[in-house]
Amino acid sequence: MTTIYFPYTESHEGGDICEGYDEDDPFPCHETMYTYRTYRGAAYLKPSTMWFDQVDSEHKFSLGDTVYLVDVTYSSGSTFGQEEGYHSLVSIHREEWEADLVAAQIRGGDYDGYKPWVGYFEGLISVDVRSFVIEDN
C-alpha cells in the first residue's frame, strides 16, 4: 500500500452571526461559512511541513508518476449554521478512466464507499477528478 500526500492552502469567508442575533445568545444563528481549498500542483510520497490531505492506495507509485484523484466537495452543518467547502479525497488511480468511473458512481448515487456528503445536513457540491505528478519534497 502507498500513501500519497496532497498539500493545500485554505481560506474561509462568512460564518458571521445572523442579523438579529448577538454573541450573547445561547444558540445564535450563523450565516453560511465558505471554505476555499486549493491543492498545490504536486503530490508527495512523504508528508511535508505544510497542511496536507492523504489517501491510501493499493497501487505502488513512484516519483514522476501521474496520479488521478477523486475529490468530492460537500456541505455540512447544523440547526445553527451551514458550511460549504468540505473535501473528501475518495481515491487515487493510475488511470484517468478509473477515476472518472468512481466520479460517475458518486454523481449517480451508486458509490458504495464512505459518503460523508450524505446526511441530514450534508449535501454534495461537486465531484472532480484532478491529476497530480508525484514529486520529491
Spell out the per-residue pLDDT of the chain, length 137, in tens.
888 898 888 888 988 888 888 778 887 778 888 988 888 777 888 877 677 888 998 889 999 999 999 999 999 988 888 899 999 999 999 999 999 999 999 999 999 999 999 999 999 999 999 999 998 87
121: Cβ contacts below 8 Å, ≥ 6 apart = 75, 76, 77, 78, 82
Taking CA atoms, 4 is separated from 10, 29, 67, 68, in Å, by: 19, 38, 9, 11
Domain ranges in the chain? 2-13+28-135
Integer-rounded Cα radius of gyration of the chain: 17
Of 85, 91, 92, residue with least CA distance to 123: 85
Nearest to 68 by CA among 6, 131, 3: 131
pLDDT at 49: 65
**Residue 63 to residue 5: CA distance in whole angstroms:** 13
Question: Is 3 within 8 Å of 48 (Cβ atoms)?
Answer: no
Q: How many angstroms separate the Cα of 45 from the Cα of each of 26, 57, 73, 108?
A: 46, 12, 24, 32
